[in-house]
Structure 1
Amino acid sequence: MGRAGPESDMNADRYGEILVFTRVVACGGLSAAARALSLSPSAVSKRISRLEKRLNVRLLNRSSRSLRLTAEGEAFYAGAARSLDTLDEAENALKSLSNSPRGLLRIFGPPAFGYLQLAPLVPEFLALYPDLRLEFQLHNEIVDPVEAGVDLAIRMGPQRDSSLVARKIGGSRWIICAAPSYLRRHGTPQTPTDLLSHNCMSFSVRTHRVHWSFKENGHTVRVPVRGNAISNQGEMLRQLALNGVGILRISEFVVAADTAAGRLVPVLADYVEKEEEEPIYAVFHHQRHMSPRIRVFLDFVQKKLAEQRRHN
């Protein structure tokens, strides 16, 4: 039978054999090494024999009472011990990296969410992880993270792309509001159907007809609304509302400061489902082991957004 080829050598348990060999030398015997490794003495002996056969050299002179390294064994032990030490150092370095992530994290997301939700969290996050750098790409388009060259993408609403991992990091309540100047000129709607006679601005217009949903007498009511100004940018719609152009339905976090200051006034609050939220997800391609950079960022953002919801 010929000598085993490279593929057969690669399949051999080289690490296990070398580990057993160095432990035998360090413990001074097969039985002691077996106890340290939680193996039977026969299993230890077999691994040593396989290693010697593969190397085609005797490493140990064994007898019933003693165990001594051969000259070849001494030379091999020195190199093997150094190699295992190097491997241990590499594993410890990786664990250290996991505990203190470093490098560049690229994030794709909606502009309003980036400005208003993520930006206020960045100083504390970077103070916790000073070896990380963040790159934000802010657009409203839905992208594949790999195609966009980012580590993760923030998306609003239900996710149906099964090729991606979606982790919910928060939620946003809807609010309907308008500037006091608009309400003085056109009146304040008292019921959802009153919106039929108002100028309504929607954030996302994918069809010719837009409906806003409400809860009325325990039932969901969908009201078709129309307006003379639309945009795919939440900040643009917010500015239009502040200037009295119309009534706006938008994520609450976009206008929270304005409603608190009275620049915008909530309307139809009794008809808006208070517990209804639009989910916010971070999506990324499946990885067997999630990057430490992604993990610590998602854990941090999820925790902070949850704290904000509890305090609101």
Structure 2
Amino acid sequence: MQIPDIRIFLAAVSAGSLSAAGRQLGIGPMQVSRRLAVLEDELGVRLLHRTTRAISLTAEGEAFLPFANTMADAEESARCELRPSSAAVSGVLRLTAPSVFGQTIVLPVLAALLERHPELRVDLDLSDRVVDIVGQGLDLALRVATLEDSELVARRIVGNPRVICASPRYLQRHGMPVRLADLDAHQCIVLHAIPRWPLIVDGGLQRRRVNARVTTSNVDAARTAAMQGLGLAMLAYWDVHRQLSEGELLSVTLEDARMEDLSVWAVMPTRRYLPTRVKVFLDALEQELAAIPRTV
């Protein structure tokens, strides 16, 4: 198998059509089709279903995709290792991130990277669901959670504790809760994924039911509802850091309970052959987060 053919296959999968892949690579769609046919002949399987307008992976193509990514990344890593003076970063950075964190933190980092590295491209999935990064051929996933045991490689990026917060207007009208029991008298905004609020009480984790006046599946909606004075919300710090620093939201500290400590993790399929584009992105992300003043 030729690495250029593998890169054509990856470009076709990423772009969604042979013509779009050709435009990315600077070659004609007929040449894309011929090189894909050569690759399929060598493997003895059909990798892609082709129509005049779009393509889709066959079952064999889905199985081959993570191997194709690994081979392409290994070649890129070898070239960078042998030519350390080269500062150029190229290829497609494929990643997924939580929606609000992705919009407020990840996108500005990516914008700066793309400006510095004209040959770099990005395929970004913003979603609060857990994505199969191996099955979808992603370079990494940014996750805000307590990670379960996994065969994947995880790198801690930054602390991201949960925060109970509310608008100044709401707290002026309803008072600032001071103790855990005070939550019972307050209206709360609850995410579907966290129907009971996790709190550390006497050193142990307690999941507490609150008076949910508003429930939503969307973190951005919960944050907006809190800013509009609809109640207390429990959200991750980096989803509300700007609102806290600008006074649009105020954090609530309880005397007899504390919030669960979470982190932002970068989850990757493997530590071997980590592409340069991933290393550069993670370094830039850590630098960006370190430069932002913390209010909690």
TM class, shorter-length: 0.5 to 0.7
- The CA deviation at 1:269 is 5.5
Tell me if 1:149 matches 2:137: yes
In structure 2, distance between residues paired with 1:168 and 1:305:
12
Give how far 1:212 is off.
3.5
Equivalent residue number for residue 102 of structure 2: 114
Alignment partners' CA distance in 2, 1:127 and 1:273 = 41
Whether 1:228 aligns to 2:216 is no
Superposed counterparts of 1:150-229, under 5 Å: 150-205=138-193, 210-214=196-200, 223-229=208-214
Instruction: Let me know the Cα RMSD of the aligned residues.
Output: 3.0
- Ranges in structure 1 where 5+ consecutive residues have no aligned partner: 1-89
Please report how far the alpha carbon of residue 127 of structure 1 lies from its aligned counterpart in structure 2 after TM superposition: 3.5
For normalisation by structure 1, the TM-score amounts to 0.61
Shift in Å, 1:161: 4.3
- Alignment CA distance shift 1:144-1:97 (3 Å): farther
TM-score relative to the length of structure 2? 0.64
Q: Distance in 2 between matches of 1:258 and 1:170?
A: 19
2:280 aligns with: 296
Aligned residue for 1:245, secondary structure, equals coil
1:239 aligns with 2:227: no
Query: In the TM superposition, what is the alpha-carbon distance from 1:222 to its structure 2 partner?
Result: 5.4
2:175 aligned partner, one-letter code: G
The aligned residue for residue 5 of structure 1 is none
Most deviating of 121-130 and 291-300? 121-130
The farther-off stretch of 235-244 and 258-267 is: 258-267
Say if 1:311 and 1:304 are closer, same or farther in 2 by CA, change over 3 A.
farther
Any gaps of 5 or more consecutive residues in structure 2?
1-77
Q: Which amino acid aligns with 2:227?
A: L
1:33-65 Cα distance to aligned partner (Å, 9 max, x none): xxxxxxxxxxxxxxxxxxxxxxxxxxxxxxxxx
CA distance in 1, matches of 2:191, 2:83: 44
Does 1:285 pair with 2:269?
A: yes
Q: For the residues of structure 2 that align with 1:242 and 1:286, how far apart are their CA atoms?
A: 40
Q: Given residue 113 of structure 2, which amino acid in structure 1 is its aligned partner?
A: F
Aligned to 2:34: none
The equivalent of 1:25 in structure 2 is none
Aligned to 1:49: none
Residue 197 of structure 2 aligns with an amino acid whose one-letter code is: H
The structural deviation recorded for 1:93 is 9.3
Q: Quick one: distance in 2 between partners of 1:206 and 1:272?
A: 18
Amino acid at match of 2:95: I
Shift of 1:257: 2.4
| Deviation for aligned residue 1:259 | 2.5
d(CA) in 1 for partners of 2:252, 2:80? 57
Equivalent residue letter for 2:229: G
Residue 240 of structure 2 corresponds to residue 255 of structure 1:
yes
| 1:265 Cα deviation from its structure 2 partner | 2.1
Letter in 1 for 2:236: S
Structure-2 residue corresponding to 1:83: none
The secondary structure found in structure 1 opposite 2:138 is coil
**CA shift for structure 1 position 294:** 1.3
Give a deviation string over 1:64-99, Cα, whole Å, max 9, x none: xxxxxxxxxxxxxxxxxxxxxxxxxx9689636974
The letter for the 2-side match of 1:188 is: M
Larger radius of gyration: 1
AA in 2 matched with 1:299: D
The C-alpha deviation readout for 1:148-177, integer Å capped at 9, x for no partner, is 332211111122242211111122122211
Higher relative helix content: 1
Q: Match of 2:150, SS?
A: coil
State the shift of 1:219 in Å: 7.3
Deviates more, 1:195-204 or 1:238-247: 195-204
